[in-house]
Amino acid sequence: MAFKSGSFATFLIVCPTCFFLGIIFSLFPYDYPILWSTVLTPPAHYDYLEAHLRFLHASPPLIPRILHIVIFLGLAGLLTKLYKPSESNMLFDGASLVLYMCGVTVYIANIVKGLRLASAGQYGAELASSADEKEQILGREDSLKVLSASNTILALVLVGILVLQAGQWYAERKDAQEVESFATKKTEKESGDATATASGASTATATKSGRQGSQRKKSN
């Protein structure tokens, strides 16, 4: 039987998603001047961002383990809801799973790689092994911009998951209301038919009794 939107599986999806959004929001003060501000980003801001990324990458092993456990919990919640799915699960949870895997891909391909580059402090020409690669590999500022853009993409993906889960809850709620309304109307109709049948039976009985009484009087 498929899980409903208010089940524990949905809790496993929504909570990790909000957890990741909180992490991204904590990085927004660093990302905003790079991506969204109309003022030219001062070079010192890149130093602040790089120092912060190095601090994150050098965190104790327990921190990334907790992060990966939370990622696994969100994935487990999606897979649980897709076990013997209903039409609603296939539509909303299937799309949520696609977005979730896109987020995991962005995390592995861009964010983890960006953290390693920032921690090593080597960009662009320093990583090139030939003259042709020097023009292809991004420099320091561009690498940090890509990392900030990846955070924004990941935030949009996570918001999309929350929207899909909220849409599923709303759709199932409306379906439940329609089913309840239909059942109420059906019950009222059956009650009305039963009342009409009982009234007709009572009238027929009274008429029959009156006829029998008249026949007895005539026979007397």
Express each pLDDT in 163-173 by its tens digit: 999 998 888 88
> Per mean pLDDT, which range of 41-50, 106-115, 135-144 is the poorest?
135-144
Print the domain residue range for 62: 8-181
Place of tokens 């089913």: 179
Higher-confidence residue: 137 or 182? 182
pLDDT band at 187 (very low <50, low <70, confident <90, very high): confident
Most confident of 77-86, 119-128, 133-142, 191-200: 77-86
The per-residue pLDDT for 204 is 55
Query: Within a domain: residue 219?
Result: no
> Per mean pLDDT, which range of 31-35, 82-86, 192-196, 214-218 is the poorest?
214-218
Cα separation, 103 vs 159, whole angstroms: 11
Query: Within a domain: residue 39?
Result: yes
- As a whole number, mean pLDDT of residues 131-158 equals 83
Query: Within a domain: residue 209?
Result: no
Cα separation, 192 vs 190, whole angstroms: 5
Report the domain count for the chain.
1
* CB of 168 closer than 8 Å to CB of 88: yes
Cα separation, 104 vs 111, whole angstroms: 10
CA 143 to each of CA 115, 120, 122, 149, 198: distance values in angstroms, whole numbers, following the listed order: 10, 13, 10, 10, 82
Query: Within a domain: residue 190?
Result: no
DSSP tag of 124: G
Query: Within a domain: residue 22?
Result: yes
Query: Within a domain: residue 87?
Result: yes
pTM of the predicted model as reported, rounded to 2 decimal places: 0.77
Query: Within a domain: residue 23?
Result: yes
Query: Within a domain: residue 194?
Result: no
